[in-house]
Structure 1
C-alpha cells in the first residue's frame, strides 16, 4: 500500500465505484436506517417506564461503554478475520436482539433488560463500525476513497440524524414492539445485502498471510503493534490527536446546544429540531463537496483549514443571538466537519497497510469517541463557571488554534497516480 500523501488529483466527474461498493453502500443504508430508529427508540422506551434523568443517562453510558472496553480488541479481530463476515454477523446480532426484544419487552420493560439490549447493540456497533471502513480500501480505487467515504457519510447523516428520529417517533405511536421489530428487520436486510460481497472480497486473513508484517501473536501483542504503528507515524499520530480534540469540542458544544437554543436563541422544541436539521443539511452538503474539493486541493491543507473553519463556526455560535444566523453557523459547521472527516478518513485508509486497517480504525474511533464523555463534562463545567454561549466561544477557539498547532508540522508529498484498481 502506498505510504505517500496525495497532493490532489482530478478523476472523472462521474465515477462508477463498482458493484462491490454498491453492495456495501446498500447494506450501509439499511443498517444506518436501523441505527437512526434504535438510537431514538431506546431513550423513548426508558423514559416511558423509567422517567428519571439518571436512568436515561445510564442508557447512553451503557450503550457507549463497549467502545471503551472493546474498541482495541475489535481492531485485532477485524485484522484477523473476514471483515465482511464481521459486519454481516454484527448486523445479524442486532437483528436478533431487536426482534427478541420486540417479544420480551412488548409490555413489561425492566430497566436492566433495556440496558442489556443497549450494551449488546453497542458491542455489535463497535465491531461493525471498525470493520466497515477497513473493507473500503479493498473495494474501490485509492484515488476514489474520498468519493466512496462521502457517499457512505451522506447515507449515515440522512438516515441516522434526519429520517430515523421522526420515523422512530411514528413507530412508537403504534406500538413499541412494531418499532423494535422494524429496527430488527432493517439490520437483517443489511446483513443479507452483504452477501453480495461474498464472491468479490478476499478475507483479511488471506491478506495478512501475503502481506509483510509481524508474526502471529496474542491479542495484547497485536494491540501493541497497532498502537506502535500509529504512534510511530507522524501523520497518523497528529491527525488522531486532532480527532480527539474535535471529539471533545463536539461533545462539549452539542451537550449545551439545547440550552443555547432555549436560553439564548429563545426557541421551542420545534425550533431546536430545525437547528439540528440545519446542521444535518450542512453535513450532507459537505459530504458531497468534500470529494470534489479533495480532487483539487492537497489533502492535509483541505483537512486542516476545514477544522479551523469548523472551530470558527462554533465560536460564532457563542456570539450569535439570532436563530437564523445560528442555523447558518451550524450548517456551515456541518459542511466543514465533513471537509475534515472525509479527507482524513481516506488519508488513514491510504497510509495504513492492509493487515493493520482494523487496528488503526479502532484507534481512530477510540480517539474520536473516547473523549466525548470528557467533553460533555467540560461543557457543563464551563457553562456553570462562565455561560452557555461562552462554551461555544471557548471550545471553537481552542479547536481552531489546536488544529493549526497540531497539523502545521505536516507537509504534503506527491503520490504517484493511482490508476490501478485495488484487489477485489
Structure 2
C-alpha cells in the first residue's frame, strides 16, 4: 500500500508521456483545428446560401445524427480493428470530403449537398472520437492517464473552441473555397502525423502480475456478431457500479450543459446587456477556465482520490451555474463561466481516466462509445427543456434550476461510490477491478 500511495502522489510534471503520445497529441491538435474551422464554416455556408433558421438548425441535427445512429456500432468496430488506422482513415475521409467540397460547393451550396457533407463529417467524427481515447491506455502508463487526457483536452479547447472559430471567419472573408481547403488540409496533416505511430501500433503495455490477458475472441469466432458485441459492452458498463453511476452523472451533465449553453446568448443579451463582442468574451472566459482546469485537474488527481475529485468538481460546476444565474453584471458572469470551465475539467479528466483504467483492452471502444452516447444523447433534451423553462419562468432560471439539479445529482449519484479502492484504482491489479 505504501508503494501505491507513493506512485499516486508522484508529481505529474515529472511524467514523460513518451514519443507515441506526442505523435497522437500532434495529430489530435491538427484535427481539432480542423474541427474548429469546419464547425464554424458549415453554418456560415448555409446562411450564405439558405438564410433560414430552420436550415441552420437542420444542419446541426444532421451533423449530430451519426452519434445517435452509429455510436454503439462504432465502439464495436474500434474494438475489432486497428484503432490507429480508424483514426487515420477518418481524418483522410474528412480531408477528402472538405477538399472535394472546396471544388464543387464554393460558388453554389445546395442545401442537400451541405447536409450530406455535414453527415459524412459526423460519421468520421464518431469513429475518430471513439477510437482516439481508446488508444490512450496503450500509449501511456496508466498512472499518467490524467496528465495525458489533460493535454489532449487543452489542445481541444484552444484549437477547437477558441482559435478555430475566428480563423474560420477570417478565411471565409477570403473565399469559401480557401476555408474549406484549409480545413481539409488540417485533417490531412492529422492523418499523416499518425504515421509516426506505425512502428508502435501493435505494441501494448505488459500485463500487470495477475492481470488477465485480453478476452477478445479470435476473428471470425464472435458469438452474436455486431449486436452481440454491443450487448457485451452494455452488460459490462451496466454491471460495473463505478461505470454505471459515472455515466448517469455524465448524462445529467449533458442535459444541464446543453440547457445552459442554449440560453447563454439570450442571457448575455437580455440580462447582461452585452452585444456580439461581449458574448464572445464570455465564451472566451469559459474557455480560459477550461484550459486552466486541464492543467490543474491532473495535479489534483495526484493528491486526491479520483471519485472524490470528480464528485466535488461536478457539484462545484453546478454551483458555478447558479452563480451565473444570479449575476447581473458581466464581470461576475465571466468569473462564474471561468470557474465552471475549471470544474468541468475537474470532472471530465479524472472520470475519463477512471473509465480507461477500469475497462479491459478489448472493451475500450465500446465503453467509450457508450459514454459518448450518454453525454451527447441528453443534449437535445437539455436544449428543449432549457427553452421551455426560459419561456415559462425566465432565462436566469435555467441556470439557477440547472445548477441546483446538477449539484444535487452529482452528490446523490456518486455518493455510493465513496473513495474506496474499487472505484479509485490507481495502479492496482486489473483483475481486482473486474470482480467488483
Alignment TM class, shorter chain as reference: over 0.9
Question: What's the counterpart of residue 404 of structure 1?
Answer: 411
Q: Contact between 1:279 and 1:334, CA under 8 Å: does it hold in 2?
A: yes
Q: CA deviation at 1:416?
A: 7.5
Preserved contact between residue 12 and residue 298 of structure 2 (Cα < 8 Å):
no
Matched-pair contact (CA < 8 Å) for 2:294–2:345: yes
Deviation at 1:246, TM superposition (A): 0.1
1:309 aligns with 2:330: no
- Bigger shift: residues 409-418 or 283-292: 409-418
Q: Per-residue displacement from partner, 1:272-323 (whole Å, max 9, x unpaired)? A: 0000000000000000000000000000000000000000000111111010
In structure 1, the residue matched to 2:260 is: 253
**Alpha-carbon separation, structure 1, partners of 2:83 and 2:203:** 7
* CA distance 1:93–1:413, change in 2 (3 Å): same
> How far did residue 419 of structure 1 move?
10
Specify the SS of the correspondent of 2:14.
coil
State the distance in 1 between where 2:425 and 2:59 align: 48
Q: CA deviation at 1:399?
A: 0.2
Q: 2:5 and 2:265 mapped to 1: Cα distance?
A: 40
Q: 1:213 to 1:153 in 2, by over 3 A?
A: same
The alignment's C-alpha RMSD in Å is 2.0
What is residue 323 of structure 1 aligned with on the other side?
330
Q: Distance in 1 between matches of 2:262 and 2:384?
A: 9
Tell me the distance in 1 between the aligned counterparts of 2:301 and 2:395: 35
The answer as to whether partners of 1:6 and 1:299 remain within 8 angstroms in 2 is no
Q: Distance in 2 between matches of 1:210 and 1:320?
A: 54
CA contact (8 A) 2:321 2:402 kept: yes
* C-alpha distance in structure 1 between counterparts of 2:426 and 2:398, whole Å: 44
State the match for 2:215 in structure 1.
Answer: 212
Name the counterpart of 2:434. none
Q: Find the counterpart in structure 1 of residue 34 from structure 2.
A: 34
Residue 16 of structure 1 aligns with which residue? 16
Instruction: Give yes or no for contact 1:83–1:203 (8 Å, CA) kept in 2.
Output: no
Q: Secondary structure at the match of 1:408?
A: helix
Counterpart in the other structure of 2:145: 145
Offset of 1:10 from its aligned partner?
2.2
Local SS of the residue matching 1:321? coil
Q: In the alignment, which residue of structure 1 is the partner of 2:128? A: 128
1:410 to 1:7, Cα distance in 2 relative to 1, 3 A: farther
Give TM-score scaled by structure 2 length: 0.92
- Distance in 1 (CA, whole Å) between partners of 2:36 and 2:237 is 32
Q: Would you say 1:373 and 2:376 are equivalent positions?
A: no
* Superposition map of 1:243-282 within 5 A: 243-282=250-289
Residue 210 of structure 1 deviates from its aligned partner by 5.4
Give the Cα separation in 2 of the matches to 1:219 and 1:319. 49
Runs of 4+ in structure 1 off by over 6 angstroms are 4-7
Kindly indicate whether the alpha-carbon contact (under 8 Å) linking 1:63 and 1:121 is maintained by their aligned counterparts in 2.
yes
SS of the equivalent of 1:339 reads helix
Aligned to 2:82: 82
Alignment of 1:17-416 (within 5 A): 17-202=17-202, 211-213=214-216, 216-217=222-223, 218-414=225-421
Q: Larger relative contact order (C-alpha < 8 A, sep ≥ 6)?
A: 1
* Residues 416/11 of structure 1: CA separation in 2 closer, same or farther (3 Å cut): farther
Q: Structure 1: which 5+ runs fail to align?
A: none
Q: How many matched pairs?
A: 414
TM-score (norm 1): 0.95
Alpha-carbon offset, residue 212 of structure 1: 2.2
